[in-house]
Amino acid sequence: MATKLPSTSRSLPIALVRAREGVMSPIREMLSETSITEQQWRVLRVLTECGPLDSKTLADRASLLFPSLTRIVTTLNKGGLVTQTRDAADRRKQIVAITEVGKKIIDDHSEEAARIVVGFKSRLGPENYETLLDLLAMLDPANSDGDT
């Protein structure tokens, strides 16, 4: 048999899946009032925070793979929540920007989203919350590989 593996209840991948489910559940509930999905919300969030971005940066910041981003941005564009413009200097590149309609969706729900975040913070305790974010960052290859 030789199962040197940890019990599934102490398995890091499974713990991450369950934690994500726990965190996303209320957020999904909030988004169910809107017409946008969790990933669309992430894209709009990043665009609100960073302003217009090229697709590569946008995919990176929103933690989405390129093919997913293509579909999501296309959908958002059809709904009038973002605009897609080709870079004049390099016509391979594409600049995605949020529209007023898109901004309104973020604004209309930012308070409730913030409340949800506060809820988790108080559940864990503020310092535990920060610790968790730090530990999670250590698992992100982008944070621990690139810079020594």
Interface residue list for DNA (CB under 7 A): 21, 24, 28, 32, 37-40, 54-56, 64-75, 84, 89-94
Interaction mask 2-31, a copy of itself, x per CB under 8 A: xxxxxxx-xxxxxxxxxxxxxxxx-x----
- Bridge partners of 34? none
Specify the pairing of strand 94-98 against strand 82-86.
antiparallel
94-98, strands of its sheet edge to edge: 53-54, 94-98, 82-86
C-alpha neighbours within 13 Å on the C-beta side of residue 3: 5
Among DNA, a copy of itself, none, what does residue 80 contact (CB within 5–8 Å per kind)? none
Asked if residues 44 and 62 have their Cβ atoms less than 8 Å apart, the reply is no
Among DNA, a copy of itself, none, what does residue 44 contact (CB within 5–8 Å per kind)? none
Asked if residues 24 and 35 have their Cβ atoms less than 8 Å apart, the reply is no
Residue ranges in contact with a copy of itself by CB under 8 A: 1-8, 10-25, 27, 38, 42, 45-46, 48-49, 61-63, 103, 106-107, 110-111, 113-114, 117, 120, 123-124, 128-129, 131-133, 135-142, 144
